[in-house]
Every structure is written in structure tokens, then in C-alpha cells.
A and B are shown apart, each in its own frame.
Chain A
Amino acid sequence: ASERKTYIVHMAKSKMPASFDDHTYWYHSSLESVSDSAEMLYTYNNVVHGFSTRLTAEEAQSLENQPGILSVLPELKYELH
């Protein structure tokens, strides 16, 4: 249960509280609300409104229930063709 995996977190940018000036602060705040130690790997601007991070399953589930979170999807591995 404590094992961390990479997740891609999709945020509803339109639901960003007015108290945030910048969406990246909102992303960080959302992440910090479920984990003291998780760090962002990437924040995405064009392809996704959101970020990728390492979370435990419990943290991922908790994050999914936060306001403004669309989905918390586990990372997938792709292969060359």
C-alpha cells in the first residue's frame, strides 16, 4: 500500500478557485493536500491540464476525490513498434 506509482492527474482548469493566480500553484496545493512528500514530475500545459506525480494508491484515491480533479490515471508503459 505504501508503494508509490506514477499517476497523471487531470485537472478541470475552469474549476480553479479564484484565490489562485496561477494554475501551477493550484496543482501544487492539490497535491500537497494528499501528500507531504510527493513531487511533481511534469506539469503539462498543452496536452493536459494537470501534472504527473508519484503517489501511493491511497493518496491517488484521496486526490481523485478533491475538488477540481477530473481523473488520476496510472502511468502506462508503451513500446516501440
Chain B
Amino acid sequence: TTRTPEFLGLEKSADLFPESGSVSEVIIGVLDTGIWPESKSFDDTGLGPVPSSWKGQCEEGTNFTSSTCNRKLIGARYFSKGYEATLGPIDESKESKSARDDDGHGTHTATTAGGSVVTGASLFGYASGTARGMATRARIAAYKVCWVGGCFSSDILAAMDKAIDDNVNVLSLSLGGGMSDYYRDSVAIGAFAAMEKGILVSCSAGNAGPSQYSLSNVAPWITTVGAGTLDRDFPAYVSLGNGLNYSGVSLYRGDSLSSKMLPFVFAGNASNVTNGNLCMMGTLIPEKVSGKIVLCDRGVNARVQKGAVVKAAGGAGMVLANTAANGEELVADAHLLPATTVGQKSGDLIKSYIFSDPNPTATILFEGTKVGIEPSPVVAAFSSRGPNSITPEILKPDVIAPGVNIIAGWSGSVGPTGLAIDTRRVGFNIISGTSMSCPHVSGLAALLKAAHPEWSPAAIRSALMTTANTACKNGQMIEDIATGKPSTPFDHGSGHVDPVSALNPGLVYDLNISDYLNFLCALNYTASQISSLARSNFTCDSSKKYSVTDLNYPSFAVSFQMGGGTGGTTVVKHTRTLTNVGSAATYKVSLHSQSESFKISVEPDSLTFTELNEKKSYAVTFTAGSMPSNTNSFGRIEWSDGKHIVRSPVAISWT
């Protein structure tokens, strides 16, 4: 990726990060659509021998030999038995029965996590610069589990099973599958086994935002990653015949409209179908759009496909207008014709012009790449949101990371739009999603693993969470682009990752297997369910009182079940244990709550650590009065020794 290393402070603080030798011992396994090994991001120049711990393979298959891998891409496997059992044999004329990536997504995520340094990277000149993964010296192992027809859980489980055998250190999964109990969810099951082996599992939170309760991958042994923007944009303005300009974004490169004003038509008025505004395949009347710029509404079909539909009907350009579902979030696309995406407000104003002017005209002006955009980061509208629908007491997502308009490596067998008619081939592509933010965190986790090989997956996650930023570069609180208001822990979790601070968090909230087993007991899982999930004969002690609030998680979610009730107060207690991973120090607590509707108290309010790895516990009491159901309120608990701030978000909800 370009820009995100600077945005995250990796470039400026390079000397703080571990020696390249230790990072090159870390192996990141990526479960995705496979890999394009010829990407420059997998150049292995300067890398030493494959780590001796590595047990993986470079499996042969369609257009993939055992010698396709190198010292950077050290493993490549594919898992298709479940897919083929359901959908029939793979059509090798359409997709490779091997780890080869025919989609681009897997190459994008793998190169984001651990791609080598590539100078002169860009997409048609956009986002140009030196591209690199977060952990440039880490090794990559690709596990192809997603195919044209989807990603099947039997294949995902098989890939995780093999990745554990292979000895990966970090697993990156930019996929999800709805909201199942942990013992039914293959990703949660596989991640539990990985966690037991000391493997950090980083997963995307999902793109179902801004709706509440829309998260995937919420098991507490998974690091769940939401998406934010960075300080970069690709402006492309719509200039109307009435002299007004509206800003949008685009990655179009090709013959421009030469600032020529062209007739402008609303797609809904150039179609005979009721949803003509969406520019679905075959719905535009060529006679009504030929030579014109067409305004299409976002939704239902792919954004780039709308452009292809307009082009096929003879349109000269397209303005893609967000609707309420996307608000002002601008996601740039490498359209096949001159096109730009505008926010809902601009879209509504542009439509008013089209409807009111007898001869509306417009043109689109492409401005290239702009950096230094403020505010940044902001939470992407599409990023899935809490509360956690499986265990409301565990706050998710854990963190956000860059996931909007991310440039990274791409497959050579598909164009940047992914459309079959797109014959362009690019080494790098710019796409958006929590799929893109997840591998940022996977790569950062690899850096932390190299710096602190003794840290558990929970300790690494804790370091990333407690040091995350809740403020933008300009000092203002991080915004939610869906609302234009400050985002909340249900949107950004602990905040935007700050890897430089995460290297030295001072204290961590650690967790081990027995903590998670006790958590399952607190969920009242049966012995059979626990055994399905954790493969152990662990039996919950009937004489012991288990509580979800005792899980040593680095954040707090408190659910008061008193919606609409009258009078009285409710008290919820949590306990936490901090482990010293820095020097001897005394930490004092500070408490912040957004409203008077709840109170936080912590006992003790000061913790003194004299030794490395010393543990100290504290108790938190949340006290709340009655509030209407669906009310949320937020706060934070911070421990500081004057040098470090160990910050935990607090989310209170009344249900």
C-alpha cells in the first residue's frame, strides 16, 4: 500500500521497529482468493532462508508449480473439496484449481499485510508512491478458500487446520459469514485452535454498516477490525450547466470529457423499468442516454457495473449518486467511462437541477490524487457496527484501520473493476472494505510479534487496542462519516490503530486458554458445545460462579436490562488484571463518562508494578439509573504512569 505506512507512522518511526531479521521469522497466513505470485510485492530480494519452523508447502495446480513460491511467498495451498462437493467441479477455464488468484482480493490483502517494498506503484497514476505491506520482511503463506461461487466453511476449516500445522504466526481472514454462535461458526472454531497455538487471528468486522448489530467475527479470541479512511482522496468534480460544482471521487483514467458540457439525464428518466435509476443491466434506453452523462443511484448492483451499463447504452459519462444507505461516503472506482461518485446531499442537489432545467448539461473534471485530507481518519459508513449480537458484554469491533481506497497488489488475470469486460490489467488496484483494514492489522500484529515474541495473541491485541487513537490528526474526535458526528466505541472499538505506541503499551490485558474456557462456561455452553469449539473435555465447575464480565478484555461493554423501567439503579461489576510489560511504575486511573446517566468507579485507583510481567487486578463498578431502551452512552477508563496511557473504551447500553 502507499500512504498508509506514513499515515500509521511506520515510516517516521522505522528505527523503533524490530530488526528485519526478527520480522522475517514471522509468517502471516492469509485465507482468501489465493495469490498472484508474480506481483512485485512478492519479490524476495534480501530475504534469508525460509524460517526453520515452516512446515508448509507450495502446492501444484493450475498454472502453479511447486517452484512458484520464493523466500517471500513461502507457501500456497488451495482448498476446494467443500466448494466442489456443493457446486460441482471447478471450471478451469474460469478459475484456477490452484492457489492462483483469479480475483485480486487475496493478492490485495496479502500484499497489504506483508508485501515487499515496490517503488513506482500506482493505479493509472493514482495513489502513486512506494508501496509496501505493513510488515515488509514478514513471510506470506496463501491459503485459497474463496472461489467464484463463494467461501465454504468445510474449506475454511481445512485451511485453518493446515495453517496451524504449517506453523503460521498470524492468520488474516477478510471474510465472514453472518452471526452464528461460536460453536457453529467455523471461523470462530478455527480461530480458537489457532489462538491455543499462539497464533493471532485478525478478521474483518464486515461491511454491513452503518446498521447496528451488524458485526461478523465477534468471538473474543479474534481481533475484529473495522474500517476508516486515510488522509487521501481522488477528487473528480461534477460541473453543471448552471455554474455550480459538486465534489466527488473517481479513479477513471482515459479519454476525458475535455471540460465539454454534455447533455445530462437522470437514469430513471431514461428507462422503462421502475428501478431504472439504479442502472441495472439492460435497463437503459440507448436513444435516451447516447452521448449524454447519466446520473445513476447507488445500490443493488456493483458500482462499476453501473458505469459499464451506461457505457454499453452509449452514454458518455456517469455521475453515481449515493443514497441514504451510504450518505456522504465516497468510495472511488476505476470506472470504464468518465464517471464520479458524489455523496447523497450533492446527488439530491444535482437531481434537482436535472429535474428543473429543461436542457441540463454537465461535465466531469478529474483532479488526480490529493493527500492531507482532514478530518482523517473517519469511520467508513460501510464498516459494521456494534453492539455485539452474540455476546453484548464483549465490545466489538476491537479497532479500526485504513480500509477506504487502499492501493495494493492485484491479480494479473482480472481488471481493476473485476468486470469480465474490463480487459485492463494492473499491478496495483484501489479498493475498499473491512477486507482491506483487516490485513493492515495482521501486518502490524506481525511487527509486534517480532518485537515481542513472548507476547500472547491477547497481549498483542491488547497493545493495539489500549494505544489506539480516538482522535483525528487534527485533535478532534474521530467522526462517523455515516452521521457526520463523533463516532462511538460501537463504531470504532478502541479506536484507530497506532502501531508505534503499541510497541510499548506499558501494560496489557492478557488472556489464556483457561480464561476463554471460563468465558464459555459463563455463556452457559454445554459440555458438548465447549468440546465442539475447544476440542477439550473441559467441564464447567457447577460450584463456581462464572461471569462474562470477568473475561480480561481490554474494553468494556455493559448492558443494563432496564429499558423503560422506573426508578432505582442497577450495578454491574467487572474485574480486570493488568500485566506489566514495561518498566517499574505506578499507574493511576482516570475515569471519563459522556453523560450523567451512568457512573464508573474503580478500586483500587492506583496500581504499582515493580517487576516485568507482574500482574495487578482491579474492579470496576458501573452504576446506572433507568433509561429508555436502546439508549447508549460511552466513556473510558485510562491508566497512566505519566509515560503510557492504557486506554479502555466503555460502552453502556440499556436494552
Q: Which residues of A contact B (CB under 8 A)?
A: 5-6, 8, 10, 12-14, 41-42, 44-49, 52, 54, 70-71, 73, 75-81
Complex A-B, nearest 7 residue pairs according to Cβ-Cβ distance, in ascending order: A78-B177, A52-B154, A81-B204, A81-B435, A46-B164, A78-B151, A10-B532
- Which residues of chain B have C-beta atoms less than 8 A from A75's C-beta? 82, 86, 152-154
**B32 partner residues in chain A, CB cutoff 8 A:** 80
Q: Does B160 contact A (CB under 8 A)?
A: yes
Seen from chain B, the residues whose Cβ lies within 8 Å of a Cβ on chain A are 32-33, 79, 81-82, 85-86, 105, 146, 150-154, 156-158, 160-161, 164-165, 174-178, 180, 183-187, 189-190, 192-194, 197, 204-207, 216, 433-435, 438, 528-529, 531-532, 535, 537
10 A-B residue pairs with Cβ-Cβ distance under 8 Å, sorted by A, are A12-B531, A41-B81, A41-B85, A42-B82, A42-B161, A47-B192, A71-B532, A75-B86, A76-B152, A76-B186
Residues in chain B near residue A76, CB distance under 8 A: 152-153, 177-178, 180, 184-186
Decide: A14 near B537, CB < 8 A? Known: A75-B154, A78-B152: yes
CB contact between A42 and one of B150, B158, B187, B532 (< 8 Å): that residue: B158
Q: A78-B153, A79-B175, A81-B174 are in contact. List 13 more A-B contacts (CB 8 A).
A: A6-B85, A12-B528, A42-B154, A46-B165, A47-B194, A47-B535, A48-B157, A71-B528, A78-B151, A78-B177, A80-B32, A80-B33, A81-B205
Complex Cα distance A42/B535, Å? 17
Asked if A48 contacts B189 (CB within 8 A), the reply is yes
What A residues does B153 contact at CB under 8 A? 8, 75-78
Q: Are B531 and A70 in contact, CB atoms less than 8 angstroms apart?
A: yes
Task: Verify B85–A46 contact, CB threshold 8 A.
Answer: no
Residue pair B86, A6 in contact (C-beta under 8 Å):
yes
B157 touches which of A5, A13, A44, A70 (Cβ 8 Å): A44
Distance in angstroms between the alpha carbons of A48 and B150 in the assembled complex: 22
List the B side residues contacting A12 at CB < 8 Å. 528, 531, 537
Whether the pair A77, B183 counts as a contact (CB closer than 8 A) is no
Q: A80–B105 contact, CB under 8 A?
A: yes
Main secondary structure of the interface of B (DSSP, over half): helix
Known contacts A41-B82, A71-B183; is-contact A78 B176 (Cβ 8 Å): yes
Interface of A is mostly: strand
A77 to B186, CA, bound (A): 10
Q: Give the distance to chain A from B384, nearest Cβ to Cβ, in Å.
A: 9
Question: A47's contact among B180, B189, B433, B434, by CB below 8 Å, is which?
Answer: B189
Contact yes or no, B177 A79, CB < 8 A: yes
Residues of A within 8 A of B164 (CB): 46-47
Min Cβ gap A68→B in Å is 11
Interchain nearest-CB distance for B370 vs A (Å)? 27
B331 to chain A, nearest CB (A): 14
Distance of A27 Cα from B433 Cα, bound (Å): 40
Question: Contact at B157–A77, with CB atoms within 8 Å?
Answer: no
Query: A45 contacts which of B85, B161, B184, B207 (Cβ < 8 Å)?
Result: B161
Task: Judge whether A81 and B152 touch: CB under 8 Å.
Answer: no
Q: Which of A14, A47, A54, A73 gathers the greatest number of chain B CB atoms within 10 Å?
A: A47
Given known pairs A79-B177, A80-B32, the reply for A73 and B85 (CB within 8 Å) is no
Residues of B within 8 A of A6 (CB): 82, 85-86, 152, 154
Residues of A within 8 A of B160 (CB): 46-47
Question: Within 8 Å CB of A49, what residues of B?
Answer: 535
Q: Which residues of A contact B187 (CB under 8 A)?
A: 78
Whether A78 contacts B85 by the Cβ 8 Å rule is no
Contact B528 A70 (CB under 8 A): yes
Specify which chain A residues have a CB less than 8 angstroms from the CB of B197 in the assembled complex.
46
Shortest beta-carbon distance, A56 to chain B, in Å? 14
Q: Tell me the complex Cα distance, A58–B195, Å.
A: 35
Q: Which residues of B contact A41 (CB under 8 A)?
A: 81-82, 85, 154, 158
With both chains docked as a complex, state the minimum distance between the C-beta of B438 and any C-beta of chain A, in angstroms: 7
